A and B are shown apart, each in its own frame.
Chain A
Amino acid sequence: MIRQAQLSILSISLLTIFAAVACTASPTPTPVLTDAVTPTGVLVFGDISDEAAETINGTQPIADYLAAQLGDYGISRAEVKIAPDLDTMVQWIADGEVDLYFDSPYPALVISQKTGAEPILRRWKYGVSAYHTLFFARADAGITTVADLQGHMIAFEESFSTSGYMLPLSYLLEQGLNPVSKESPEVTVAADEIGYTFSTADNTTIQWVVSGRVVAGVVDNVTYELFVPEETRQEFVVLAETEDVPRQLVLVRPGMDADLKAAIKSGLLTMDETEEGRAVLDVFLTTEFDEFPEGADAALARMRTLYDLAQSR
C-alpha cells in the first residue's frame, strides 16, 4: 500500500510537471467499480493485484467472452473484482462473491484449502503450462550447492508465492536443510540455518544477488531465462532446480452449480479453437486452458504435499 501511495504521488507530480511543459500525458485508466454482492446473472472473475486497473483491463475481455456463452445458465454479464490481498480473496470466494479465480498453485491451494474452491483446469500463462524454481548465486560467492547456503541468507519472493516460496522452501526441507525466515537480509543467520527473507519480487531477488545483498536467490525458470541477461547468467551458478508444477490453476467457488461449472470448463477449454477466443486469450496473457495431464487428483496430491511442507514452517 505504501508503494502504491508513492507511485500515486509521483504520478500526480508528473502530471503537474507535464502540464507545465505543455506536454501530453497518458490518461490514467478509470477504475471499474464492482458491487459488493454478486447479483443474479453476473459471472464474477477475481484476482489479487496492486494494479487493479491493469488487471481488470486484462481480465474483462475473457470474462465477457465467457459470460456471453453462459446465457442458458442465467448469466448475462461479467465483472472483475480485484482483492488487495489473499485474505480478502478467501473471504470473497467463501462468501460466493467471486465465481472464478486464477492463480499459481500455492495461493490457489491456500484458497482452496480455506474455502473449498475447486481446481478444475490448468492455465497456460505466458505460453507455459508448468514451471519450477531455480536456486542461483553469484559464481564468485563460493556457493555450489544448496547445502553451501547454510549460514547464509537467501532471498525468496513473498510468502504466498509458488515459485518464490512454496517450491524452494519445500525443496530445502526435503533436502533435510533448515530454512529459517528472517525479517531482512541484514539479520544474522546461524551456521545450521539457511536464512530466507522476502524480497517481494523476482527482479528484486535478482538485484539483491547481483549486488551481494544476499548470497543466493530463487526465481522461477521462466523469469530466469527471460529476464536475466545471458552475460549475467554467466556470472551466476544454479545451485538446484525444483520439480515442475502447473503454471496456474483455475478455481471455481464452492457450491457452484454443476452444469454451470461444466459449461465454464467447456468454454475455457475450447477458447483457443476460435479466432475470437484466441484474441481474448492473448489479452489475458494465456495460451490455452487444459486438463491436468496426470489427472487432477494426482497433480493436486503432490502439490498438496508440497503445500503442507511449506505450511509446516
Chain B
Amino acid sequence: MSEIEALKRPLALKLTATITIIVVLVVAIVTLLTIRRERQTFQAELEQQAALLVNTIAASSADSLYFLDADFLSDLMLDLGRFEVITFGRIYDEDGRIVADAFDQSILFSFDPDPFGLQLLQTGDTLFTWQDEQLIAGQSVIIGSEVVGAVSVGLPTAFLEPKIAAVRNQGIIIATIAVIIGLILALFFSRSITIPLQAMIQATQRIMAGDLTQRVDIHSKDELALLGGHFNQMTAQLQQTLEQMEQEIDERKRAQIALEAARDAAESANRAKSTFLANMSHELRTPLSAIIGYSELMLEQIELDDYDELEDELKRVIHAGEHLLMIISDILDLSKIEAGKMELVPETFDLTDFIESVAMTAQPLAHKKGNKLVISCDEALGEFYADRSRVRQILLNLLGNAAKFTDHGTITLTAAREQAATGSTIRFTVSDTGIGIPNEQMRLLFKPFVQVDPSSTRRYEGTGLGLAISHRFCQMMGGRIMVESEVGKGSTFTVDLPVAVDVMH
C-alpha cells in the first residue's frame, strides 16, 4: 500500500471510529436491555395488581355467582366501571355466559357463552391477555370443588407508556453522555497511539532521506515507549553499522585500487616479459640455428677427414645447442600463449595413426633409460578434430617426462573415447613406474619454470616449461589435464579433450 493510500484511512480515524462504534453498540444494547427489563417489571407489577383485583372480585362475587344473583353482580361491575382505571370488567356464570359487565349492558342476557369465559372456566390459574391498550386478567370462581363462574377485569396499559418513555429518555440521555465520553476517550486513546507513531513515521522518513541522527522521544511508559526505545537503538546501530561499512568500503576501495594498479603493473610487466622473451627467443634462435648448423657441417667434415680429436667436442656443442633451442622454443611458446598470440590450427585426423606416430617418436626416449613403452588403445578410436601438432606436443612432453623420471620401468600410453555429460571426449593417459611426485609439489606442477625438486634441474635435464605449456594447450582446446602420483611408485597424467575441439577455446 502506498503512503497516499495508507493516509486515506489513518489509524487515528480507524481507532476512534472502532471504539466509538463499540461504545455506541454497548450503550445501545444496555439501554435496550434496561428498557426491556423495566417494561417487564412494569408489566409484572401490573399483572400482580390485576391478579389482586381479580382475586378480590372473585371472592366478592363467589356467593352471588352460586345463587346467580345477577343484580348484585351487575352492581359490582357497574361500581367497578365507575373507577376510571379499569377498562374492562365481566362476570360469567358457570356456563360461560356474561352475567355482568362494567360498561356494556347490551351484551347481557345472551344465551351464547363467551369464549373467554369458557376459557377461564377451564383454567384454574389466573389468565393474562395483553392487548394494545389494556391487560385483561381473569380467573374462574371456585367454591369447594365446583366452578360457579369466572371473572375478568382489564387494566389500562396507557400509564405504562409514560413510565417506559421516562426510562427510555433517561437511557437515551445516559447513552448520549456515555457516547460523548466514549468518543473523547477514544480520541485521547487513539492520539496516545498515533502521535508516537507519527513521530516515528517522521523520524523514519528523515532516516530514509539519510539523516541517521533522528531519534524519537516517547514517555508513555507502555509498549509504544518500548517500541520507541527499540527504534532509537535500531537507528543508532544502523548509523554505527553504516559508518563502519563506509569505512570498510573506503578501505576496500583503496585496496582494490592498489590491487588493480598492481595487477595492471604485473600484467604490463608480464606482457613486457612475454614480448621480451618472444623477441629474445626469436633473436636467439637464428644465431643458435646457425651455430648448430655449422657445427653439424664441421662434424660431417671431420668425419670425412677422419679428424677424430674434435668429434666429441663438436657433438657436445650440437647437443647443447639443440637443448638450448628446445628451451628457447618452449619459452617462445609460453610467451606466445601468455601474450595471447598463440593460435591453434585444428584439423581432422585418424587417431590410431596419430598414436602410432607418437609412439614411434617416443620409443627411443623410453629405451634410452631401459624403459619399456606400452601402447594401449581402443581398436576403433575414429577421427579426432584438434590441433594435431599441439596434441602431439602434449603427449610427447608427458612421455618425455615419464622417460626422464623412470629408470628401467614401464611407460604406458592409452587412448580411449569417453562419453561425458558435456559430450564425447578423447582420454589420453601416460603412466610410469618412476620416482613419483610428493603431494606438496603437486600444486606447483603446472606452473612454468618449476620442477618437483629444484635439484632435479641439474640431475634431470629440462626447462620446467613442458607441463605448463601442456596445461595451457589443454585449456585452449577446451580440455583438462590431471595427475595422480605416489612417491616411489610412479605417476599417471590424464588428458581429456573434446572429440571436436572448439577453436574459440
A interface list, Cβ under 8 A from B: 3, 6-7, 9-11, 13-14, 17-18, 20-26, 199-204, 206-208, 210-211, 213, 227-229, 231-232, 235
Contact = CB atoms under 8 A, between A and B. Distances in A.
B301 interface: no
A204 B71 contact: yes
Given A207-B109, A210-B111, A211-B93, A13 B56 contact: yes
A227 B56 contact: no
A227 B109 contact: yes
A7 B79 contact: yes
Contact of B60 (A10, A213, A227, A232): A10
B97 A210 contact: yes
A201 B68 contact: no
A211 B95 contact: yes
B385 to A, nearest CB: 122
Contact of A23 (B60, B108, B159): B159
B83 interface: yes
A232 B109 contact: yes
Contact of A228 (B45, B49, B60, B109): B109
Contacts of A23: 84-85, 159
Contact of B109 (A10, A199, A206, A213): A206
B72 interface: yes
Interface in B52-66: 52-53, 56-57, 60, 63-64
Contacts of A202: 71
Contacts of B57: 10
A235 B64 CA distance: 25
B83 A207 contact: no
Nearest to B107: A229
Contacts of B110: 210, 229, 231-232
Contact of A7 (B53, B75, B107, B155): B75
B85 A203 contact: no
B80 A3 contact: no
Contacts of B83: 14, 18, 25-26
13 contacts: A3-B69, A6-B63, A6-B64, A7-B79, A10-B57, A10-B80, A17-B53, A21-B49, A200-B69, A203-B71, A206-B70, A207-B68, A227-B105
Q: Which 7 A-B pairs rank lowest in CB-CB distance, beginning with the nearest?
A: A201-B71, A207-B70, A23-B85, A204-B70, A13-B56, A10-B60, A204-B71
Contacts of A13: 53, 56
B23 interface: no
B131 interface: no
A248 to B, nearest CB: 20
Contacts of B46: 21
Contacts of B422: none
A229 B60 contact: no
Interface in B13-50: 45-46, 49
B97 to A, nearest CB: 7
B56 A14 contact: yes
Contact of A227 (B49, B69, B82, B108): B108
Given A3-B69, A24-B84, A208-B70, 11 more contacts: A7-B76, A10-B80, A14-B53, A14-B56, A204-B70, A206-B108, A207-B70, A207-B99, A213-B68, A232-B110, A235-B111
A10 B72 contact: no
B106 interface: yes
Nearest to B98: A207
Contacts of B109: 203, 206-207, 210, 227-229, 232
B74 interface: yes
Interface in B172-199: none
Interface of B: 45-46, 49, 52-53, 56-57, 60, 63-64, 68-72, 74-76, 79-80, 82-85, 93, 95, 97, 99, 105-111, 155, 159
A26 B93 CA distance: 28
A96 B132 CA distance: 58
B161 to A, nearest CB: 14
A203 B74 contact: yes
A25 B108 contact: no
B85 A21 contact: yes
A80 to B, nearest CB: 21
A227 B159 CA distance: 34
Contacts of A17: 49, 52-53, 56
B31 to A, nearest CB: 25
Contacts of B155: 21
Contacts of A11: 79
Contacts of B107: 229
Contacts of A14: 53, 56, 80, 83
A229 to B, nearest CB: 6
Contacts of A229: 106-110
A203 B108 contact: yes
A287 to B, nearest CB: 22
Contacts of A207: 68, 70, 93, 99, 108-109
A89 to B, nearest CB: 21
A137 B68 CA distance: 17
Contacts of A10: 56-57, 60, 76, 79-80
Contacts of A204: 68-72
A84 B49 CA distance: 35
A211 B148 CA distance: 12
A213 B85 CA distance: 34
Nearest to A203: B70
A231 B112 CA distance: 10
Contacts of A232: 109-111
Contacts of B74: 201, 203
A17 B64 CA distance: 23
Contacts of A21: 45-46, 49, 85, 155, 159
A3 B79 contact: no
Most A-side CB within 10 Å, residue of B82, B83, B93: B83
Contacts of A199: 69-71
A3 B97 contact: no
A167 B379 CA distance: 163
Given A228-B109, A232-B109, A20 B49 contact: yes
A206 B71 CA distance: 10
A17 B137 CA distance: 15
B165 to A, nearest CB: 16
Contacts of B49: 17, 20-21
Contacts of A24: 84-85
B72 A3 contact: yes
A313 B64 CA distance: 28
Contacts of A211: 68, 93, 95, 97
B20 to A, nearest CB: 40
Nearest to A9: B60
